Structure 1
Amino acid sequence: MARNIISFHALFKQGFTYSFDKLYGSIYVFKNGVFIFKSLPCDGVYETVTFVDNLGNSVLHIDSSIGVEKACLWHCRLRHISKKRIAQLQKDGVLESFDLKSDDVCEACLLGKMTKSPFKGSFERGEGLLDIIHTDVCGPVRSTTRDATRFYVTFTDDYSRYGYIYLIKHKSDTFEKFKEFKNEVENQLGRKIKMLRSDRGGEYLSIEFLDYLKECGIVSQLTPPRTPQLNGVAER
């Protein structure tokens, strides 16, 4: 909608009262016996509002039918349809005739119809086991386990694509599960984790977690905000 709206019900709840002009259909608004403003009907809608002072002189006149181009107004009313469709509606006699400017730019259309460029190119791959570990936390899921667990965390090796899944009750348990995962795989494979790739979830950004990674010489690789494609191994 391209206009602000006065709710007469909201005004009534605030102590305003009304009287109606039977001849012209106008609404006169009062509060505590003092005349505040009157509203004039236009095609079934009260569009024109006139405020007056104590002497009855008009001090402010608002006409909502003025100030907005009809092309822009109908474009918004019809859910931002194209100019070609508006022209067709005019041709069919559904809409009144008005000028359609070719240089009109609708900011809402630009924002709402933008698309992201596809992610192309090759991504960095691990040259050996544990070079890059992808991780992500999922949950809460609607179905819980017998011990009321609703989250799980995954750790996937980039080189082999072999994954580990740990059930956790809270996201904050991710740190303890990572230490458990790290101790197991490094002991079994005789190699060290070099990089941990994750999104910017709070469970990966705690000071305790980051300090532990630095202590172990593990690089924390965080993907940019709102780009799950860059952490696609864990997301899939």
Structure 2
Amino acid sequence: MTAPQAGPQVYHQHVNDARTPLHHMERVMRYPDSRQKKLAIRTFDGSDLYEGLGSGFLEWGRRFERQVNLAQSACGFFWLKDLKVDLLGHYLQGMAERCYHKQIETWWNQMPTLQYAMEKMLKAFKTHITPAQSMLLFTKPKDPREHGLSISYTCGPSRHLCSDVSWLDDVEDASGVCIQPNGEELNISKVGTVTLRVSVAGAIKTVILTEVYFAGLAHNLISYGKLDEKGYTLGCRDGQRVLETSDGKSVFFDVELSNNVLVIQAAVQCKPQPPRGVILTAVANNADRNEAILHETQPSSLYDLDRRLGHLNYDAVEKLARDPASGIILTDRHRGNCLTCTQGKQSKNRQPKHDTGANSPIDRIGGVICSDLKGPMTPRDRLGNRYMIKFVDHKSNYVKVFLAKTKDKAAKVFAEFLVFFEKRFDCRIHVLRTDSGGEYANIDLFCKLSGVTRQRSEARNQASNGKAERMHRTIMNMARCIIFASGLPLTFWKDAV
């Protein structure tokens, strides 16, 4: 997000809208007391609100000037110009405060107004990033090789040290000892070059460090002595610490101060491997992964595994265990009689098989969504819910369960499910099929506005909506088995679902 160009109109345009009328104020300028000068605004320290997005001085400056004008109006008289400029320094800290005290005398001689001082501060802390780049920063996954590299000060020549040997290019074997500040010896085994992507005045620059040694440290160290030998020195430009050439003509990279340690925010850029090396590495990694899977197996009996999976059924558990990727070894395949399964999976009758989902347009995900509401459940769960609303996709058998305290929440729940499902699977819902119950009567208008076709099953014949009916049975079977086996009260059925 690139900040607007600095200019007097930047602050006047936004502050005048919130400024209290001043025609009733005294024309005499006076100094307010300490209580009247207190503003309801946080201090500004110049640090980034988010990495790469800048410090946000523009928005903070608008709020500060608005608070000054409101406090001035509350006093009933005008404040002197030098008071306003001095008050700005009281609400700065850190890097911003140092920049202010260093330049304020120059700014005051050029133009003695608060607006001019804030425009100069804006130039020092403005943001150099476009909206497209800001979106990339938010959505880009973190690079596992991205680390902060700290500069270590030494009296004499030392070495650049890194913590990961994979960062080194042109690696060679090395043998040597490095003396740590506490006097202990540190063995060195590899040496090479490291390519870094660093920040220079808001832009990204690539630099190469030579003679970087691998020492297996927890942190990465860049020797200031080595850089000083090559003609680089620490400096400051526009309030930002930098490492620059001794003549000041070019900047090597930006430097930050964190916990009294100078730190460089950098990303390691490794050379691309040749295709053959990449293939061999991928094959080796795959072999290691398969070997690790074989070693990380979990032995269990069929009966115990069925209980741990919510009393699913023996056939499904055996099918799962036959998959090598499951990491399960069955030590006993005896199918014992489970009283919990008998109690939890009993049913009254079977649904008729005519007019089932086989004759419906279910050839794609989202083509037909079946829904059913069950309740009131007895007893209520611990949060007072009594109804369970399910949505089942015919193609993928994906199911989403919602709980509600009243049955009239079906329309609101479907609106939430519609947005979630279409975003999750990148598709559109074409048909919503329910029974003819009154709980879905208020959903027709929403379906018409959303372009979703409504289908209702016939009275006393719920086979066309059988997938949702059967899913309710499957869910409740598993919930009852978990409750019976755990010995918890029935009010925990929501947690089991």
TM-score, normalised on structure 2?
A: 0.23
Name the larger-Rg structure: 2
TM-score, normalised on structure 1?
A: 0.48
Compare the two structures and name the one with the higher helix fraction: 2
